[in-house]
Amino acid sequence: MDYLNIGRVANAHGIKGFLKILPTTDDKTRFELLKSVLVEDQKGLDTTYKIEQIKYSNQFVLLKLEGVNSMDDALLMKRGIVKIPRDQALPLEEDENYICDLIGLQVYESEGALLGPLIDVLHTGRTDVYVIDNGSKNGILLPARKEWVLKVNIEENKMIVSIPEGLLD
């Protein structure tokens, strides 16, 4: 089955086993539509948990999962990845893509030069930033704006971009 990442366990919250989740979805209230989630631990092991309760704190989603009943239980899940089956994902708007589908795309300049693979998407608040591994220490950090991201083709594993003047200096 194909899964989508919808968050990362940032920490434990309180003593009753709540997980502090940093959502990687545009709509953090989407957790309310779920009965369960799969959590991948740091060893790559997946476990499905029934959701017992959902709260919010600033940009975080606080999840209480069945069987996670203490701060110690929750701390064991720190840095885990929260996933759902792709068929439970919210529908996309036009020109939207799931982040997991973008990771690994080969990124090309509009003139045809290969820049490298897209390796991460940073959530900065207003505009996401694409991290392109061009072999340099920090890679290329490209704001995900329509004027610079010209075309995304998941089927061809390709993204075409226009690099803003001065970005590579």
Q: What is the pLDDT of residues 118-165, one digit of tens each?
A: 998 887 778 889 999 998 888 899 999 999 999 999 999 999 999 888
Residue 166 has pLDDT above 80, yes or no: no
Q: Which amino acid is at 124?
A: T
Nearest by Cα to 31 from 80, 64, 72: 64
CATH 2.70.98.10 fits 99-161, yes or no: no
Topology, domain 3-88? Elongation Factor Tu (Ef-tu); domain 3 (2.40.30)
Write the pLDDT tens digit of every residue in 80-118.
999 999 888 888 888 788 888 899 999 999 999 999 999
Give 122's strand partners: 129
Residues of the chain with CATH 2.30.30.240: 99-161
Q: Which residues contact 33 (CB under 8 A, 6 or more apart)?
A: 88, 90
Residues of the chain with CATH 2.40.30.60: 3-88
H helices of the chain, where? 71-75, 99-102
CB 110 within 8 A of CB 42: no
- CA-CA distance, 44 to 144, in Å (whole number)? 29
Give 47's strand partners: 39
